[in-house]
Amino acid sequence: MALSGLEIFKKLPKTNCKDCGFPTCLAFAMQVAAGKVGVEKCPHISEEVKKELMEASLPPILKVEIGAGEDSIVVGEETVLFRHDRTFVNQNAFAVTVEDEDEAGRIEEVARRVNDIAYERVGEVLTLDAVCIKNKSGDKDKFMEVVEKVDSLTKKPLILVSKDTGTLKCAAEAFKEKKPLIHAATVDNVDSIINITGETGCPVVVRGETFEDVRTLTEKMGNSGIKNIVIDIGTRNFKNDFYNQIVLRKSAIEQKNRLFGYPTIVFPGEMTDNILKETLMASVFVAKYASIVVLSNANYQNIFPLMVYRQNIYTDPRMPMQVEQNIYKIGNPGGNSPVLITTNFSLTYFIISGEVENSKVPSWLLVMDVEGQSVLTAWAAGKFVPEMIARFVRESGIADKVNKKELVIPGYVAQLKDELEEELEGGWKVVVGPREAGEVPRFLKEYVAW
């Protein structure tokens, strides 16, 4: 995608004037290539070169913003096919559908859930992103009424779906301040939609069943200066649309095909009537390249696993996920409850806390910040060693919460026992726990029975 530092350098004045704030033109070029500074910081390049460089440095999939204000969402900007190459950039949005024929109660419930659902997990809060309103009735007034209603209930972005261009025009004009996503431009109405989006500035979906149709539409829009485009491709057949998503992403990234270099939207609820199957299909599109996944429902049992999966797929594969250093209470521990220690690698924490919970033995779990490494890795790296563990235990304040001053350490670092006891002082005893998390429940039950 982007140009290399040297390619950018060639286009610069090479005067090392420092007006950009960097010591040399080469240093500046490197920073531009790394995406850390914009090329416009150089006051001496021509408009033409500036435009060329700015276009070349755009990501292969353009960024599109939907909605306005704090709750607006940004999608696109992806640069790779595989998450092990580089972290996926903007996590996909989840939208929930209401139809203008739905009862008021359902519309209110969906809006409420889109506003309120918030799952806290590994230091992040997982939320829904948008409401998709479908003009199922075909009636303009009815649609406008429902859009107004939803708009009054939520600040989250809206996706407005209608087959009628007049209806879309009316809605886009009425709500243009909120920048809803307009669905959709097709080969039949593209000229009118170009006018609507040109005037309102709303982002727009292009809808085509084939690559050729989509390409025709994005080209036409691009020529009219419209770039805030989202692609809706396919026939609502799972295999076909799975294939479409992969081909679009490959084409944008490997072939540098700008005509497909836009975020995508999928509707798994239109591929099946089975709500669990829809959830499974939605998860596939989280991993395989959709930017907006529109769901038919906001049922907790479907939303929750999907949001956890999205968080998993979009984490930085090079950075271990971390949990906060803290004393975690499991159950309702008291002065004589066991005190266990582990590291803040989130997998370690999740697995250990889950097993402690399974044991039904209320416990204190000390989680020590070792930059997100597992117990053995942290020990090998000198971050989970007696002196540091003792300091953490002292500063944690756990001594004020318990009478029984015994610390259970992971079995894999059993060799730390004696030295840690010395370092801890204050009458602490160190107990060696099991090596594997799965053995924790049995260990805890026996330990408290002593």
Positions in the binding site for other proteins (CB under 8 A): 82-84, 117, 119, 121, 211-212, 215, 238-239, 242-243, 246-247, 250-251, 254-255, 276-277, 279-281, 283-284, 287-288, 299-306, 308-309, 312-313, 315, 317, 347, 350-351, 354, 357-358, 439, 442
How many other CB atoms sit within 10 Å of the CB of residue 188? 10
**Min CB(212)–other proteins separation in Å:** 6
**Please, which residue, 82 or 450, has the CB nearer to other proteins?**
82
**Please, which residue, 81 or 388, has the CB nearer to other proteins?**
81
Burial of 137 (0-12, 13-18, 19+ CB in 10 A): middle
Q: Which of 247, 211, 205, 208 is nearest to 226 (CA)?
A: 205
How many other CB atoms sit within 10 Å of the CB of residue 218? 23
**Min CB(297)–other proteins separation in Å:** 10
**Min CB(384)–other proteins separation in Å:** 19
Q: What interhelical angle do 190-200 and 165-174 show, nearest 10?
A: 0
Radius of gyration of the chain measured on its C-alpha atoms: 27
Residue 78 to residue 60: CA distance in whole angstroms: 7
**Min CB(281)–other proteins separation in Å:** 8
Residue 326 to residue 368: CA distance in whole angstroms: 7
**Please, which residue, 135 or 302, has the CB nearer to other proteins?**
302
Residue 315 to residue 319: CA distance in whole angstroms: 8
Residue the block writes with tokens 């290399």? 4
**Min CB(305)–other proteins separation in Å:** 5
Residue 418 to residue 438: CA distance in whole angstroms: 25
**Please, which residue, 217 or 385, has the CB nearer to other proteins?**
217
**Please, which residue, 141 or 439, has the CB nearer to other proteins?**
439
**Please, which residue, 19 or 212, has the CB nearer to other proteins?**
212
Residue 135 to residue 138: CA distance in whole angstroms: 6
**Min CB(229)–other proteins separation in Å:** 17
The secondary structure of the chain in percent helix, strand, coil, rounded to multiples of 5, reads 45, 20, 35
